[in-house]
Amino acid sequence: MLRKRTCHLFWTIALLNFLIPGEVPAEERGHFVLDPGHGGKDPGSQRDGLNEKELTLDLAKRIKKVLNGRGHSVTLTREKDVFVGLEERGEVANEIPGSIFVSLHFNSHVDRSVAGIETFYWPGSVEGQRLASYIQGELGRRIVTRNRGFKPEQLKVLEVTRGPAVLVECGFISNRWECQRCQSSWFKQVLAEEIAQALIRYFNLPKPPSPAKTELPVVPIIVSDL
């Protein structure tokens, strides 16, 4: 009998912890570091008065709002229009143990017909690849565009970050159709909700015991940030 009551009490506490976000320990809520690409003196891609640095900050704030609403804590690598170095961005995530890092970008190409969404992870990073696959999978559900897939790439900001890390290119603003779409707030909101949903799904996965990032031999060429 005593045993039964103890068991009942255990499940009541467990359920309360699940229902009340404020009662759940911080490490169990998941911490996301969102990195709005570019900023300050570095506008990133530009077209028709649209700056990548403004789009990425807007998107990051929208994702933060969705994640906060679902009980997750979020840190942005920049809160306003300032320049932040690539290493500094990765270090923000490294200083928060267990955090998940997502760098946000919009792409550009000399061929203006090029379009689509793609997500990059550091070569050999099992968790980066898994996270990238979730983001691409989620974005491909509601956004009509070319799914360019998830790919390994030696991007500086991913090299610096020690935990699970990805860089999402949310569309080509050099493409007329995608540029127009990026100017609308509904599109940015859909992007934000889909990325947030992917992050939550990834966070809720049972974690394998393997390290988040596989150590690789030093490679001579590092592709700089896109």
Judged by the rule CB under 5 A, the positions of this chain that interact with Zn ion are 37, 44, 105, 226
Give the Cβ contact number of residue 24 at 10 Å: 15
Kindly state the smallest distance separating residue 52's Cβ from Zn ion, in Å: 5
- Provide the residue type at 113 as one letter: S
Residue 214: strand, helix, or coil: coil
The span from the CA of 214 to the CA of 164, in Å, is: 11
- Of 52, 118, 169, 178, the active-site residue reads 169
Nearest to Zn ion of 39, 44 (CB atom)? 44
Nearest to Zn ion of 51, 99 (CB atom)? 51
Kindly state the smallest distance separating residue 209's Cβ from Zn ion, in Å: 34
Nearest to Zn ion of 44, 163 (CB atom)? 44
Kindly state the smallest distance separating residue 84's Cβ from Zn ion, in Å: 13
HEC per residue, 37-54: CCECCECCCEECCEEHHH
Kindly state the smallest distance separating residue 99's Cβ from Zn ion, in Å: 21
Kindly state the smallest distance separating residue 60's Cβ from Zn ion, in Å: 13
β-partners of residue 101 are: 33, 165
Query: What single DSSP character describes residue 25?
Result: -
Nearest to Zn ion of 106, 202 (CB atom)? 106
Nearest to Zn ion of 31, 105 (CB atom)? 105
Residue 107: strand, helix, or coil: strand
Please confirm, yes or no, whether 27 is among the known catalytic residues.
no
The span from the CA of 155 to the CA of 179, in Å, is: 24
The span from the CA of 125 to the CA of 119, in Å, is: 13
Residue 106 tokens, joined: 């919009």
Position with the least CB separation from Zn ion: 105
Give the Cβ contact number of residue 169 at 10 Å: 20
Residue 54 tokens, joined: 């403004």
Q: Hey, which residues are catalytic here?
A: 169
